[in-house]
Amino acid sequence: MGHESDWRTASTNSAYDVFSEENGYELSFVDCDNDSAKQLEAVRNFIQQGLDYIIIDPIVSTGWDAVLTECEDAGIPVIIIDRTIDDSDKYVSWVGSDFKVEGLACGEWLKAYAADKGITEINALVIEGSTGASATIGRTDGFKEIADREGWTILDSQSGDFTEAGGQEVMESYCQSYAGQFNVVICQNDNEAAGAMTAMDNAGVTYGVGGDVILVSFDANKPYVQMVMDGKINANFECNPMAAPTVAEIIQQLEAGETPEKEIYVTESWFAAEDNVATITVNGEEQDVIYVTQEVLDARPY
Ligand code: GZL
């Protein structure tokens, strides 16, 4: 897909680790620089090369049926990882996260956290991910569902494109437009959170544990789980980038003539800087909120 975030780097590294020569693979990897047109071109080139399997992390969720039909006509199985494709089902399996659950978990944690802290009014600013990405859509919808239920105010919601520069640019604008009006900032990935922290530092806005603003992030890459432990980020909702091992299992099933599951969800955890919210209930399921200690941080795989 690209190289826009730490999350992407972890996902890419996992693919290189799993689909190695010593593991019996020949890997053709194309970085499409977050450009959907380049991604479609790369898939068509893979078809021309007559590859055995094509794995796609779709930058956006639409515009895929034509090229997936071409893969099907060429007899090349397609496996989708991470983000979803909403306009075609011409692929063997999808392996990834439930992005709406991530957004719901964020909202349920914030409700419990605010209640414990005696915060009765939530005025939130959201820095969205890339427009049209299923990760953005799911996290936005999930958090908004809780915000609407709880009567919170979402003052604004703009895309930072999952990058640090984008997060900083949007947060600088927010600090100008909503000075003194907001007490929550939701960043839809860690790199946007890094940019938002720079912008708030420059604007003299305090955030994190003991700050004026509750700062929330998604992805939970290890350096940002460290920031949770340090109290800079109040909560971080993991998006597990390690789909490659599951994709390898799918390929082995196909090689053995078996039929893999169509949808396979990776496991994810929720991290917090304080231990005042031990569990939350998401879609009726009770889930732990992990208080980040050095032991928790040391155990993080990426
Ligand atoms: C989500 C993934 C998102 C990450 C961002 O699964 O697609 O894209 O949350 C990344 O960090 O850029």
Q: Where are the domains of the chain?
A: 6-97+241-265, 99-239+269-298
Cα of 129 to ligand 1 centre, how many Å? 8
* Residue with CA at minimum distance from ligand 1 atom 6: 82
Q: Is residue 4 very low, low, confident or very high in pLDDT (cuts 50, 70, 90)?
A: confident
Q: Is residue 65 very low, low, confident or very high in pLDDT (cuts 50, 70, 90)?
A: very high
- Written as six digits, the tokens of 276 are 């005042």
Asked whether the predicted pLDDT for residue 12 surpasses 90, the reply is: yes
Q: What is the mean pLDDT of residues 65-80?
A: 98
Mind listing the pLDDT tens digit for each residue in 134-154?
Answer: 999 999 999 999 999 999 999
What's the pLDDT score for residue 1?
86
Taken in order 270, 131, 242, 248, the sign of the CA dihedral is positive
Amino acid at 4: E
Cα of 99 to ligand 1 centre, how many Å? 10
Check if the beta carbon of residue 189 is closer than 8 Å to that of residue 5: yes
6-97+241-265: CATH topology is Rossmann fold (3.40.50)
Q: Which CATH number fits domain 99-239+269-298: 1.20.140.10, 3.40.50.2300, 3.40.50.1820, 3.40.640.10?
A: 3.40.50.2300
Query: What is 49-109 written as a DSSP string?
Result: HT-S-EEE--SSSSS-HHHHHHHHHTT--EEEESS--SS---SSEEEE--HHHHHHHHHHH
3-state helix, strand, coil in the chain (%, to 5): 40, 20, 40
What's the pLDDT score for residue 276?
98
Mind listing the pLDDT tens digit for each residue in 269-289?
Answer: 999 999 999 999 999 999 999
Q: What is the mean pLDDT of residues 152-179?
A: 98
Q: Which residues line ligand 1 (CB under 6 A)?
A: 4-5, 7-8, 82-83, 97, 135, 162, 189, 218-219, 239
Check if the beta carbon of residue 126 is closer than 8 Å to that of residue 154: yes
What's the pLDDT score for residue 83?
94
Q: Which of 8, 139, 217 to mutate to test the pocket of ligand 1 (most atoms within 8 A of CB)?
A: 8
Beta-carbon contacts of residue 161 (< 8 Å; ≥ 6 apart): 4, 34, 129, 130, 131
- Cα–Cα distances (Å) from 273 to 12, 150, 164, 217, 227, in that order, read 28, 23, 22, 12, 9
Residue % of the chain over a pLDDT of 90: 97
> Could you identify the atom of ligand 1 that is nearest to the CA of residue 241?
6
> Could you identify the atom of ligand 1 that is nearest to the CA of residue 4?
12
Mean pLDDT of the chain: 97
What's the pLDDT score for residue 302?
87
Q: Locate tokens 């944690």: which residue?
A: 109
Q: What is the mean pLDDT of residues 153-178?
A: 98
